[in-house]
Amino acid sequence: MTRVQDRFAGLYADIYSLFNSAPWIAENIKTYPKGYVSNEVNTEYAIFDVSSADEGFSDSLRGILFIDIYVPNGLGPTRAAKIADIFDKYLAGATFATNAQKAITQFRRESTFIIRGPAIDNSSKLRSTYQIQFNYFKKET
């Protein structure tokens, strides 16, 4: 007897629904998932990584959304902090439900932001990290 879960794909679908949305695209912060290679040349961009490492309850998930923010190095951290604020605006306390009948992804209201210094593979970029915890609640079926 198999039991289809689709929770990991469902979690990604919820997160993609934000970064595909018109309001986010209008913010003009290019945001890619880890493992995606873009041909675009951007002065600032972000790469996100979904870690559902922590166990949730029953059919649910719990984890952290890690986002690396890259801005030009040498101009200070203010722009990176402003980008982190934009991520907060859309993520902190937000709920995403591409299939609300089955599951929702709910982000915590707390988040963290750390300036990491020049990127290891490209010193012209300043790397900083933004992290926010999420819960993926799945209804029992």
Partner 1 sequence: MSHIASIGAGMFSDMSVAFDASGPAAAPGTMSKANLDALFATECTDNTPAAAEFIRIANVREFPAIGTPPNIVNVPVFGQSVSQQIQGQADAPSMEITLNYVPTQWASGTPLGDLVGSGEQCVFRFALLNSAPSGGYASSAGGLGTTQNTYWYFLGKIDSLLVTPNLADSNQATIAITLQSVVHGAYTI
Q: Residue numbers of the site for partner 1 (CB under 8 A)?
A: 60, 93-95, 97, 100, 103-104, 106, 108-109, 135, 137-139
Provide, rounded to whole angstroms, the least separation between the CB of residue 138 and partner 1: 8
Task: Please identify, using beta-carbon distances, which residue of 25 and 100 lies nearer to partner 1.
Answer: 100
Task: Please identify, using beta-carbon distances, which residue of 79 and 108 lies nearer to partner 1.
Answer: 108
Task: Please identify, using beta-carbon distances, which residue of 74 and 93 lies nearer to partner 1.
Answer: 93
Q: Identify the helix (H) or strand (E) that includes residue 12.
A: helix 7-19
Provide, rounded to whole angstroms, the least separation between the CB of residue 23 and partner 1: 13
Contact 106, 132 (CB under 8 A): no
- Tell me the H-state helices in the chain: 7-19, 22-27, 78-91
Provide, rounded to whole angstroms, the least separation between the CB of residue 93 and partner 1: 6
Neighbouring-strand partners of residue 136: 61, 105
Provide, rounded to whole angstroms, the least separation between the CB of residue 7 and partner 1: 13
The angle subtended at Cα 52 by Cα 31 and Cα 33, nearest 5°, is 15
Distance from C-alpha of 10 to C-alpha of 89, rounded to nearest angstrom:
22
